[in-house]
Amino acid sequence: MRQFRRMAYPYIVWISLLIVTPMLLILIYAFTTTGNNVASIRFSLINFEKFFSDVIFLDVLRRSLVIAVVTTIICVIVGYPVAYIIANSAEEKKFTLILLITIPTWINMLVRTYAWLGILQDDGIINTMLGFLGLGPLKMIHTSFAVILGMVYNFIPFMILQIYTSLTKMDKSLLEAASDLGANKVQAFLKITLPLSLPGIISGITLVFLPAVSSFFIPKLLGGGQYVLIGNVIESQFLTSGNWNFGSAISFIMAVIIMLSMYITKKIDRGAEKGEEA
């Protein structure tokens, strides 16, 4: 047992240096103001007051939450049928289909997002094709549509894989029993398949919503700097304005929102598991 504990020491050191320490620094910066020297540093809530008293920052936060929710809903609506089709495919086809879903994730997310610039811009591939049909050009780049599309494209594999995992773990004999009892395919899906796949849906929602609400380079590239989300504000405070205290305060607010969303999804997940046991 001691040998196993010793094996965990490097991981504990890594966690402490790269996760716990930065979080503590953000916490300290968020609740302090910095003067001209170390002695002038003092505890203050002015950074939070500045954020919640400014309509612009609150509007950016609202927009970020809306974009993240819309992205998550689209990923569920599109991802569930895809995961369902893969889960019910022949065994020899499942590997190929899963590979097609995961191959894009092997490429850096920044590179994948850059690719959409060439596709969505005014003289891009889509508008060129529309031009041959006598349509367009359509304004797609630097819009909310482009930002949501970029987020859905980057995050939907996480949704599909989570739902697929839940569907493959489902006991198929339950569907056979439902059919023997006179249930049609729609009834069997609503009463058995959907409830049993809820843990996968909830896990997928967590894996999509959390990065979507804090994303900064997707709206920066596809929004052209004109579509600002809360991640862009945090980035600008640290890298452009140099106001680490205010940037840390916004980061702390987002961390609280993320933890609350994780707590809610965890409660829903536990409720779904109790429903399965019942």
Contacts of residue 113, defined as CB under 8 A and 6 or more positions apart, other chains included, come to: 150, 154, 217, 218, 221, 222
250 burial (CB, 10 Å; 0-12 / 13-18 / 19+) is buried
pLDDT in tens, 170-185: 888 888 888 888 888 8
Q: How far is the C-alpha of 214 from the C-alpha of 210, rounded, in Å? A: 7
Q: What pLDDT shows up at residue 4?
A: 65
Return the structure tokens found at 237: 């405070």
For the chain, residues with pLDDT lower than 50 are: 36
Residue 12's H or E segment, with its range, is helix 2-15
Q: How is the chain split into domains, by residue range? A: 54-277
Give the residue among 36, 32, 64 at the shortest CA–CA distance from 46. 32
Q: What pLDDT shows up at residue 201?
A: 93
CATH architecture of 54-277: Orthogonal Bundle (1.10)
DSSP state of 40: G
Give the residue among 206, 202, 201 at the shortest CA–CA distance from 262. 206
Give the residue among 197, 192, 205 at the shortest CA–CA distance from 164. 197
Q: What pLDDT shows up at residue 127?
A: 84
Q: What pLDDT shows up at residue 223?
A: 86
- Residue 212's CB is within 10 A of a number of other CB atoms, namely 26
DSSP state of 18: I
Residue 32's H or E segment, with its range, is strand 32-33
Q: What pLDDT shows up at residue 36?
A: 46
Phi, psi angles (nearest 5°) of residue 51: -70, -50
pLDDT in tens, 150-205: 999 999 999 999 999 999 988 888 888 888 888 888 888 888 889 889 989 999 99
